[in-house]
Structure 1
Amino acid sequence: MYTLTDLVAPLGLDRWQQADCWPGAVVDGIAHYPSTPPGPLRSPIDGCRHGELLPASVVEVRAAVGCASVAFEAWRNVPAPRRGELVRRIGDAVRARKRALAQLITLETGKIASEAEGEVQEWIDVCDYATGLSRQLHGLTIVSERAQHRLLEQWHPLGVIGVISAFNFPVAVWAWNAMLALVCGNAVVWKPSEKTPLTALAATALVLDVLHDFDDAPAGMVQLAQGDATVGALLAADTHVALVSATGSVGMGRTVARSVAARLGRSLLELGGNNAAIVTPSADLELAARAIVFAAAGTCGQRCTSLRRLFVHEDVAEKLQEKLVTAYQHLSVGDPRLPATLVGPLIDEAALNHMQAALMRAEHEGGHVLIGGGQVRAGGNVPGGGHYVRPALLAMPEQTDIVHQETFAPLLYLMRYTRLDDAIALNNAVSQGLSSAIFTTDLREAGAFIGPAGSDCGLANVNVGTSGAEIGGAFGGEKNTGGGRESGSDAWKNYMRRATNTLNDGNALPLAQGVRFG
């Protein structure tokens, strides 16, 4: 077992510990301890108190944005490959502290060890990706309709990037945004979840150490401003923040989008996901069952890509249902610091209450609990003070009102279908559009699902679960998920501004479209 005390020194948190209080802001590398009333920090594992967080004040948030704006003016002129070298060094620093950082993630989120280490690996992977990207920020050369003219398209640094991240991935989502933003020549102000402030402090400490030893890095390029929704609102409203990338609930995203749009700024939104999987008659049921259980129960159902809805063809429904019930019976729920644990706690009591309310409503709407759903009491490998539940599998008569809602907990609704077209329509019938999957060995079924009339989600997988995306592909979804894309592919373009240049290398001045003037 490990505790926060074991992790303070190797992660650099000890430099900011003041009588068991932690700063709400780290502006220009200096910790700020405002007089704002503190909030207690407790682990979801056992309710253990780690200290108190002093939220950033309005002054600190504005100072963070101001310092980042000044830093951007210098950093944008540093050659992109040199910016990539900085991110490469950050990746090396993360590698050296991978285990300790993962352990802190487990303490703050309740993730099991392998999932926490996987999240840190995402940060490492995106550093490698961004380093290579630093030499591939390509524009275009475009033919002109005018003789001795050419058009160029260039991508330039955008400005200050505001990142608002959620508790369930306390470093990965920030890294997707921040590492690409830095390579693209921007500065970053980070507002993490108030539920995972120490992980944010540790990540910031690590990055600041690297920046300190990097000659070309201006002071103030990476800032941290912690607190509740007030801090996020300040970033969204600040005209000096060129892009706000926000990950979290649909309600939060709407609030951010309205504020940013009011000043004609840019927002990148990755919001809720009510994700579905379809199992066809030709599916490999063993493979499907393994993928379904991880997607539905992993991270205690607290991923935006967690599986919520399962549509199974009537010919294989009974057989798959038996496999799932058996698998759920063997899911070990308990202390995520123990190697044998597969499902840790929910993040807090509110999450527990939401799950229980959803279960009651599902039963009222005709659902039947096949297994799970109950709270696991303390004892054995289950610590007291946490909120532990058995992942629940429910048989539903149809896609009722509660099934249309995302419950951030290990709650999976199983429904039967007859025609594939109907199953795809059910997949698309909800307001969210993040992740989806089909399990089939029929090429035609797979093609229909990923084609233009198939899944309307940003992620549409074949024989792979809804969760566990790789960093090389753009991540995000449609409809109420927000439409944003983070991480791989051409997501880097979100963090840059595009300029089209017309060059005339001749002596004449022909006008476009054949216009004559004079």
Structure 2
Amino acid sequence: MTTHRDLLIGGRDVPALAGGAAADVSPHTGEVFATVAAGRAADVARAVAAADAAFPDWPALDPYARRSILLRAADLLAGRSERAVELMAGEAGGTVPWAMFNVGLAAEMLREAAAAVTAPHGEVLAAQEAGALGLAVRQPVGVVGAFAPWNAPLILGVRAVAAPLAAGNTVVVKPSEDAPLSCGYFVADVLREAGLPDGVLNVVSNAREDAAEVAEALVTAPAVRMVNFTGSTRTGRIIGTLAAQRLKPALLELGGKNAIIVLDDADLDHAVDAAAFGVFMNAGQICMSGDRVLVHRAVAEEFTERFVAKVAALPCGAPTDPSTVVGPLVSPDAARRVAALVRDAVAKGATVLTGGGEPSGAIHPATVLTGVTPEMELYHGEAFGPVCVLDTFADDDAAVALANATEHGLTCGILTENGTRGLRLARRIRTGIVHVGDQSVADEPQAPFGGVGSSGYGRFGGRWGVEAFSDTRWVTLATRHPHYPF
């Protein structure tokens, strides 16, 4: 029997006001995996009202009680790996290793958020008036509108809500139409079971055709004081514009055109394995995936031969098969989009070193190209699929120039055995994240996560996430009556 989920509003599971349900289709089988209530703008208004009503009591709750709720939620999530594997495979085609990684990191994000609840927030300031005390105090903003994407549904579903909750805010989350259970309801269920009070976290799913209406209603609701969005740069521009028009802060983590740089002193065994992971984990559907592998000319021939052989041998297939490395993309349309990018590049002179061709349903073969030039769509656009481009450079300056030749700026990996050299390059790369001695895909709950340029602005993670979802207020206390000139 197909699972159905109603909206979560004010601690209750309720149908959408207009009725109706949206199908949650498996990209691998093409069958309906689940259905969810098809919320509309009126349902967003209900959810925002519930969050607004719950706001006064949530930050007033004993901080140790709030911390305990988040810690219990982490333990509950960690104990439900089998269900997570089932959901991620059924909704988004996630492989077993990817789902298990999501479970582990999402649980740690909740633990990090729990630690932030009782961490010191604020500073004592020097005061101009004699006998006065100045304080910089962090306080929650109120209701946060959150958007949770499908590609790393547990990680990004938790990230959308954990820091806002830790800072004392209440949340209304709009989960992706492609994984509403994994990135929305599953996360909310563990928090609700952990003891999160009614109305503190609300979930409004929607049909795909109503996505724009629901998103606009969430961003523009007067009681929503801040927005966080993780997703494509195109949609992020719309969300950011809507928020800016109302002078609402927004935290945007958007797309990337990330480079993995292989220097001439790299350990090629490590470099080949690292680059293959950085490009093809989750079939390249990670904002940090390496679209471009830039290789020093001195090692390009050997690296290319070994890398192409490894990629050609990566197992493709069903997400439920534990041996699968490259599983299905989120939909057959996504696979066809990637194939079209490859066809365009080949038609304009690029060479396929392995892969290419037409997808099988939602599965696109792991593909490596070379000779990609600026007139090709793939040169500028994020692949977001199991495709990468190999290019070469002559020296460190050329490597930096190639890595920076994009409007995006999320992450970069520099594969080298010389940390000093790698750090010099890292400081010249225009991205929010750089990994020296590693590839481009990495995420840790205590670290500042986010990009620059068309990859967005603001930072999730650790104390930066809590600060992002707080207002800083200046409070003074006069210990004696000040003197006035009149």
**Normalised-by-shorter TM-score class:** over 0.9
Show the counterpart of 1:390: 365
Show the counterpart of 1:146: 129
CA distance in structure 1 between the aligned counterparts of 2:243 and 2:135, rounded to whole angstroms:
30
1:43-88: CA deviations, max 9, x gaps? Answer: 1121122243331022211000000000011112113232111111
Contact preservation (8 Å) 2:333, 2:362? no
1:452-478: CA deviations, max 9, x gaps? Answer: xx1110111111111131112111100
Show the counterpart of 2:93: 110
1:390-441: CA deviations, max 9, x gaps? Answer: 1110112655543111121111011111121121111111011111111112
Show the counterpart of 1:380: none
CA positional deviation for 1:173: 1.3
Show the counterpart of 1:436: 412
Say yes or no: does 1:220 pair with 2:199: yes
CA distance in structure 2 between the aligned counterparts of 1:260 and 1:498, rounded to whole angstroms:
20
CA distance in structure 2 between the aligned counterparts of 1:416 and 1:399, rounded to whole angstroms:
15
CA distance in structure 1 between the aligned counterparts of 2:35 and 2:424, rounded to whole angstroms:
52
Q: Say if 1:107 and 1:444 are closer, same or farther in 2 by CA, change over 3 A.
A: same
Show the counterpart of 1:408: 384
Show the counterpart of 1:214: none
Say yes or no: does 1:190 pair with 2:173: yes
Q: Say if 1:22 and 1:507 are closer, same or farther in 2 by CA, change over 3 A.
A: closer
2:462 to 480, 484, 488: 488
**TM-score, normalised by the number of residues in structure 2:** 0.94
Say yes or no: does 1:203 pair with 2:187: yes
Contact preservation (8 Å) 1:458, 1:475? yes
Secondary structure of 1:316 counterpart:
helix
* Unpaired segments ≥5 residues, structure 1: 6-16, 212-216, 378-385, 511-516
**TM-score, normalised by the number of residues in structure 1:** 0.89
Show the counterpart of 2:43: 60
CA positional deviation for 1:35: 3.7
Show the counterpart of 1:499: 473
Q: How many residues align?
A: 480
Contact preservation (8 Å) 1:137, 1:155? no
* Unpaired segments ≥5 residues, structure 2: none
Secondary structure of 1:394 counterpart:
strand
CA distance in structure 1 between the aligned counterparts of 2:373 and 2:13, rounded to whole angstroms:
55
Q: Say if 1:55 and 1:416 are closer, same or farther in 2 by CA, change over 3 A.
A: same
CA distance in structure 2 between the aligned counterparts of 1:282 and 1:221, rounded to whole angstroms:
52
CA distance in structure 2 between the aligned counterparts of 1:188 and 1:305, rounded to whole angstroms:
26
CA positional deviation for 1:306: 0.8
Paired amino acid for 1:504: A
CA distance in structure 2 between the aligned counterparts of 1:120 and 1:155, rounded to whole angstroms:
30
Say yes or no: does 1:264 pair with 2:235: no
CA distance in structure 2 between the aligned counterparts of 1:484 and 1:508, rounded to whole angstroms:
39
Secondary structure of 1:311 counterpart:
strand
Paired amino acid for 1:497: D
Show the counterpart of 1:42: 25
Moved more, 87-96 or 285-294: 87-96
**1:89-488 matches, cutoff 5 A:** 89-199=72-182, 200-211=184-195, 218-227=197-206, 228-375=211-358, 377=360, 386-396=361-371, 398=373, 400-402=375-377, 403-451=379-427, 454-488=428-462
CA distance in structure 2 between the aligned counterparts of 1:288 and 1:86, rounded to whole angstroms:
42
Q: Cα RMSD over matched residues?
A: 1.8
CA positional deviation for 1:34: 4.1
